[in-house]
Amino acid sequence: MNDHQRPPLRFSIGCQEVFFLNDADFLAGDCPSNRPERIRFASLHLSGPVGTNGIARLAVQGSADPVVFHVVNGATNLVTASTEIPLAVTDEISCTGDHAIYVSCPKLGTGTISATFTPADGGEPLTASATFRCIEPLRKLVTTEKSGGRYVNPSRLVMGTNAVLKVGVKGDFSPSEVRWRVVSGPGVVFPTNGWETTVTPTGPGTVTVEARFNGDEIQPRFVLPVVQPRTIPVRAFVVQPPETFNQDVAADTNNINVAWTCL
């Protein structure tokens, strides 16, 4: 392969924009969380001539205080500034090589992952970085309320009655970043963006509605069985007081007045 056919050497970090707060205890030397669904995947990506190899080193910073680790031969290793991560171009078709790393955040805020790749042949080091935000997960309200004639976050849907589903998130985010959808079941939602949506049951069964934030899969789901409206019969019992009722009340009132006057 001549110089004109040799692919240029490039180095980058693949990292999503939004991470979710991981409120678990972090254990040095072990997987840093008992909430693996909140550990986010990232990757180091190297492209260039097949056979290119070297060492990558990472640095993390920011108010989110990110914890980075990688798995080698089944063992979990926390990544520090001195950790050497081998990286090589091995794919002869795409001329690329990747190394998976994982990120977890114990604090709200922003973070940056920076990396330097030093080629084994003594070439110039390459740098890359990625920034992200750490937010609290969208949380479904735990209570059912009725406000202004609207039922908010009910435990079930009543056929012929609309209900409002509502989520909230901490941080400087816009309602347009929320995507509502019906995962399964007989129902529709509108609007599909915003902190809240209206769900309408269209048949019997169970409706599952999801609120997705920024395309991430860690989102609340509302599982709502659909029930038919019921009419509860009400019987009224009218008690007729005896004919002497008013006379007895008047007599007792006079006795009280006399007793009060004698005090």
Q: Has residue 248 been placed in a domain?
A: no
pLDDT of 38-55, one tens digit each?
778 899 999 999 999 999
pLDDT of 114-133, one tens digit each?
999 999 998 899 999 999 98
**Look-up of token digits 């007792």:** 252
Claim to verify: residue 144 and residue 131 sit in the same structural domain: no
Identify the domain containing residue 214 by its residue range.
Answer: 139-227
Claim to verify: residue 178 and residue 92 sit in the same structural domain: no
Q: Has residue 176 been placed in a domain?
A: yes
pTM of the model: 0.54
Most confident of 45-54, 131-140, 155-164, 241-250: 45-54
Claim to verify: residue 111 and residue 28 sit in the same structural domain: yes
Claim to verify: residue 105 and residue 148 sit in the same structural domain: no
CA distance 53 to 72: 17
Query: Once rounded to an integer, what is the mean pLDDT over residues 139-158?
Result: 65
pLDDT of 203-227, one tens digit each?
999 998 988 876 655 567 788 899 8
Domain CATH number, residue 95: 2.60.40.10
The structural domain count of the chain equals 2
**Look-up of token digits 């409206």:** 229
Claim to verify: residue 214 and residue 146 sit in the same structural domain: yes
Domain CATH number, residue 160: 2.60.40.1080
Claim to verify: residue 95 and residue 123 sit in the same structural domain: yes
Burial 232-246 (b: 16+ CB within 10 A, else e): eeeeeeeeeeeeeee
- Nearest by Cα to 226 from 250, 252, 199, 253: 199
Q: Which residues contact 60 (CB under 8 A, 6 or more apart)?
A: 66, 67, 68, 79, 111, 112, 113, 114
pLDDT of 70-89, one tens digit each?
888 777 888 888 999 999 99
Claim to verify: residue 22 and residue 40 sit in the same structural domain: yes
